[in-house]
Copies of this chain bind each other. A is one copy, B any other.
Amino acid sequence: MKKIMNHPDQVVEEMMTGMVLANPQRLQRIKGTTVLSKKTIPNAKKVALISGGGSGHEPAHAGYIGKGMLDAAVIGEVFTAPTMDQIYAAIKATHSGHGVCLIVKNYAGDIMNFDMAAELAVTEGIDVEQVVVKDDVAIEDSIFTTGRRGIAGTIFIHKITGALAEQGATLQEVKRIGEKAANAVRSMGIALSSCSIPAAGEPTFTLSDSEMEVGIGIHGEPGIERMEVASAQEIARQLVEPILADLQLGKGAEVALMINGMGATPQMELYIVMKEVHSLLEKREVLIYQSFVGEYMTSLEMGGVSITIFALDEELKHLLNEESDAPYFRV
């Protein structure tokens, strides 16, 4: 394992320091915590939006802090849910009396810790609601989850809820739109190569020189099938078909599309996948309203790609287009 780091135990701490130093006008660290937030919290005009999870998925989630997206991101150790006390600290720091909405990827550790933090805050009179994202159609249950996993589609939920919160919507309205968006988004990915957790020092899994893992999780957890590396066209088909089978879009349906690199995938390959997905959607008369190609939800230096399809209606389209100044999400 080769990494640019100082000490495996310090990577998250030093990353957070670097993030704040790179964005001094934009970001702050809540003192004594692993929470990064906007500088303008608590914001008395709006519902506070918090997400988070294990680190190693950057730019998720700190890269989505900004106007029209998140108020704060709670950062766990690499591929490890943030602890309850950190999530609680984020709630305390951001709430302004308009309530707090937590956006949580569906992993057992995250669910448990976000739940406990929310309950504690509620006992103190803070209104807290949660939106759980379960967009990965690859598998129903996994070693880390009951039900589907939450992956790259989560970024669209940040965007949609963030836009509505910015307009001064109530906590219940923000929760409603978050759940509506979460119900309309599906993802699936493949990996060509593994990644190493710094403290582990070894690859999380191994693939031979000719294999890929279909339905990979964002922590390197197994998917549904290991097979010979297929063509871009075939990979696109293997990912788009299960998504569309689940989403059941009619002809003329409009979607936002995300082609997400897992960490080590050249943009060149992502755009080749873009071409193939476009072709598959065109055949089914599904219209791409907007495309996002890049690294949005990574798994350290894993090679691979995930595809996210987000079914839009007029309300979601409008919110997707609203301004955001989060550094890693550009509409």
A residues near B (Cβ < 8 Å) are 2-6, 11-12, 14-19, 21-23, 55-56, 58-59, 63, 78, 192-193, 209-210, 212, 229, 231-233, 235, 259, 263-276, 278, 288, 291, 293-295, 298, 300-301, 303-305, 327-328, 330
Q: How far is the CB of A266 from chain B (nearest CB, A)?
A: 5
Q: Nearest residue in B to A274 (C-beta to C-beta)?
A: B18
Evaluate contact between A298 and B266: CB separation under 8 angstroms.
yes
Q: Nearest residue in B to A7 (C-beta to C-beta)?
A: B231
From B14, B23, B265, contact of A291 by CB (8 A): B23
Evaluate contact between A21 and B268: CB separation under 8 angstroms.
no
Evaluate contact between B2 and A272: CB separation under 8 angstroms.
no
Q: Is the interface of A mostly helix, strand, loop or mixed?
A: mixed
A15-B267, A21-B275 known, 4 other contacts, Cβ within 8 Å = A4-B232, A11-B272, A22-B271, A327-B330
10 residue pairs from A and B, CB less than 8 Å apart: A2-B212, A2-B229, A6-B233, A15-B267, A17-B271, A18-B271, A264-B264, A267-B295, A267-B298, A268-B300
Evaluate contact between A22 and B293: CB separation under 8 angstroms.
yes
Q: Which of A6, A78, A268 has the most CB of B within 10 A?
A: A268
Q: How far is the CB of A242 from chain B (nearest CB, A)?
A: 18
Knowing A55-B268, A58-B266, say if A275 contacts B4 (CB, 8 Å). Answer: no
Q: Across the A-B interface, give the 10 residue pairs with the lowest CB-CB distance, nearest first.
A: A18-B271, A264-B264, A18-B274, A58-B267, A18-B275, A4-B269, A22-B291, A15-B271, A2-B192, A21-B278
Point out the residues of chain B lying under 8 angstroms from A293, CB to CB. Answer: 18, 22
Knowing A192-B2, A232-B5, A235-B4, say if A266 contacts B300 (CB, 8 Å). Answer: yes
Evaluate contact between B278 and A18: CB separation under 8 angstroms.
yes
Point out the residues of chain B lying under 8 angstroms from A55, CB to CB. Answer: 268
Point out the residues of chain B lying under 8 angstroms from A275, CB to CB. Answer: 14-15, 17-18, 21
Evaluate contact between A14 and B232: CB separation under 8 angstroms.
yes
Point out the residues of chain B lying under 8 angstroms from A209, CB to CB. Answer: 2
Q: Nearest residue in B to A17 (C-beta to C-beta)?
A: B275
A16 to B275, CA, bound (A): 9
Evaluate contact between B56 and A266: CB separation under 8 angstroms.
yes
Q: Nearest residue in B to A63 (C-beta to C-beta)?
A: B267
Q: Nearest residue in B to A198 (C-beta to C-beta)?
A: B268
From B3, B16, B265, B268, contact of A56 by CB (8 A): B268
A3 to B304, CA, bound (A): 9
Point out the residues of chain B lying under 8 angstroms from A274, CB to CB. Answer: 18-19, 21-22
Knowing A22-B291, A264-B264, A293-B18, say if A2 contacts B210 (CB, 8 Å). Answer: yes
